């Protein structure tokens, strides 16, 4: 069974999520990748190194859902599996493509049990559904953080195909958040703060601990709504879904909507004044006390050990 994956990228760099999709789907047959970008070559070169990739197709054009859907619709006849990351691009493209192909998509896949058997969270992550997709073609979005990345070292051929057609939509601008932190969606360590952090200045403490540990920074919706943290740090049902090796939750109660975003975390450490908080009960390690005392102590200990910058 050959799979076609639409590469996720920021216009210049291949997202690490694509390597995870390749690893998830390559056990079921060869994987082709489509790179749709104004300058697709450097992204395609990175994609061609991923183990399990048979061919990388490049198409020149803006990565807009209208153009991507038109392109994928013509390519779909060759592929029993079409897959995208459950990112904002994937969530935009897949429903439109599903309507055009008249098939039902399987979204937010977190495990693949066979070429037509998939596991996905339902009820805001409170239950996992295993389903057999009996349609002849499967259209999937995958939560990349649930899968390990593919190895590199491959040199798959890169083949240009037709340019993407003109779209009625135009990309006006892309605004990037500058920073050298790991990507929240795929980071190995995430340090996150809740509304108890109290202010944007308070979040500098969370960032300081994060920097020491080489971690990505997350936040609860309450912290984001209060203006203490930017929107793209939000973790949870309506934010990012993460699966780090270590999740450090600071002043976070553990509301169901937040827990929906951290189910894939392998180890959880909680810092909270309330020993009864749901996240404290869920955590592998809990430090009960005031975050404004504990976090500076942790930073000082890491400094003593010479960990981080
Ligand atoms: C439709 C919908 C979608 C939602 N989506 C999301 C989502 O995606 N992500 C999300 O996070 N939330 C989401 N929410 C909101 C969610 O229900 C909670 O309100 C939110 O997660 C609570 O955030 P919090 O833990 O920061 O705040 P709180 O629940 O107020 O918890 C604060 C915690 O900090 C502790 N604390 C207080 N002071 C200190 C201190 N000095 N030191 C240490 N600990 C301290 C308290 O004991 C408490 O446990 C959603 C809600 C709805 C209705």
Domain count, the chain: 2
Are both 125 and 271 inside the same structural domain?
no
From the number of C-beta atoms within 10 Å of its C-beta (0-12, 13-18, 19+), residue 227 rates as exposed
Q: What is the pLDDT of residue 203?
A: 97
Shared domain for 215 and 282, answered yes or no, is yes
27 and 141 both lie in a single domain: yes
Q: How many whole angstroms from 128 Cα to the centroid of ligand 1? A: 23
Whether residue 53 contacts residue 154, with contact meaning beta carbons closer than 8 Å, is answered with yes
Query: 142 and 219: one domain?
Result: no
214-44-109 Cα angle (round to 5): 65
Q: What is the CATH number of the domain that holds 214?
A: 3.40.50.1220
Same domain for 53 and 123?
Answer: yes
CB 206, CB 181: distance < 8 Å: no
Which residues are paired to 43 by β-bridges? Answer: none
The tally of CA atoms less than 13 A away on the side-chain side of residue 300 is 6
CA of 179 relative to ligand 1 center, distance in Å? 26
Which residue's CA lies nearest to atom 40 of ligand 1?
290
Same-domain pairing of 46 and 111: yes
Give domain status of residue 169, yes or no: no
**Which residues does the chain have with pLDDT short of 70?**
309
DSSP structure class, residue 30: -
How confident is the model at residue 309, as a pLDDT? 66
User: 238-272, pLDDT tens digit by residue?
Assistant: 898 888 999 999 999 999 999 989 988 999 999 99
- Which residues constitute the domain of residue 73? 3-160
Residue 153, in any domain of the structure: yes
Domain of residue 107, CATH code: 3.40.50.620
Residue 183 lies in a domain: no
Q: What is the pTM for the complete model shown?
A: 0.81
H-helix segments, 108-216:
202-213
Is 128 found in the same domain as 68? yes
Report pLDDT for 62: 87
193 and 138 share one domain: no
Q: Cβ < 6 Å from ligand 1: which residues?
A: 194-196, 220-223, 234-239, 251-253, 255, 257-258, 261, 271-274, 277, 290-292
The last residue of a domain, from among 120, 144, 160: 160
Q: With contact defined as beta carbons under 8 Å apart, do 37 and 8 qualify?
A: no
The verdict on residue 172 lying in a domain is no
Mutate to test the pocket of ligand 1, among 126, 206, 221 (most ligand atoms within 8 A of CB): 221
In a domain, 121, yes or no: yes
Q: Which DSSP category does 2 fall into?
A: -
Domain end point (choices 116, 140, 160)? 160
119 and 197 inside one domain: no
* 143 and 13 both lie in a single domain: yes
Among 58, 41, 33, which Cα is nearest to 164's?
Answer: 58
Is residue 173 assigned to a domain?
no
For residue 172, the surrounding DSSP H or E stretch is none
> Would you say residue 176 lies in a domain?
no
Structure tokens that stand for 8 in this block = 């996720």
Would 240 be classed as within a structural domain?
A: yes
Sheet strand arrangement including 158-160: 106-109, 138-142, 81-85, 3-6, 31-37, 53-60, 158-160
Q: Tell how far the Cα of 236 is from the centroid of ligand 1, in angstroms.
A: 10
Are 131 and 206 part of one and the same domain?
Answer: no
CA atoms of 243 and 222, how far apart (whole Å): 21
The answer on 264 and 223 residing in a single domain is yes
């Amino acid at each position: 069974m050959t799979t076609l994956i639409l590469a996720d990228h920021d216009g210049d760099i291949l997202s690490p999520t694509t390597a995870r999709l390749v690893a998830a789907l390559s056990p079921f047959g060869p994987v082709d990748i489509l790179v749709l970008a104004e300058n697709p070559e450097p992204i395609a070169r990175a994609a061609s190194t991923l183990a399990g990739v048979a061919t990388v197709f490049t198409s020149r054009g803006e990565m807009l859902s209208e153009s991507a859907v038109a392109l994928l619709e013509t390519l779909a006849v060759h592929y029993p599996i079409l897959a995208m990351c459950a990112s904002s691009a994937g969530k935009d493209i897949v429903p439109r493509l599903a309507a055009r192909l008249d098939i039902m998509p399987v979204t937010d896949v977190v495990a693949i049990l066979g070429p037509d058997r998939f596991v996905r969270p339902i009820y805001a992550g409170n239950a996992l559904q295993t389903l057999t997709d009996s349609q002849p073609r499967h259209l999937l979005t995958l939560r990349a953080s649930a899968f390990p990345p593919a190895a590199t070292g491959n040199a798959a051929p890169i083949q240009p195909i037709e340019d993407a057609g003109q779209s009625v939509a135009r990309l006006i601008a892309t605004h990037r958040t500058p920073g050298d932190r790991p990507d929240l969606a795929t980071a190995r360590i995430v340090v996150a703060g809740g509304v108890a952090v109290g202010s944007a200045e308070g979040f500098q403490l969370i960032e300081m601990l994060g920097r020491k540990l080489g971690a990505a920074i997350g936040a609860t919706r309450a912290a984001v709504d209060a203006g203490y943290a930017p929107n793209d740090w939000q973790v949870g049902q309506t934010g990012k879904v993460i699966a780090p090796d270590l999740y450090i939750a600071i002043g976070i109660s553990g509301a169901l909507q937040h827990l929906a975003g951290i189910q894939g975390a392998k180890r959880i450490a909680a810092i909270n004044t309330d020993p009864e908080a749901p996240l404290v009960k869920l955590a592998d390690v809990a430090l009960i006390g005031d975050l404004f005392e504990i976090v500076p102590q942790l930073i000082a200990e890491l400094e003593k050990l010479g960990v981080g910058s």
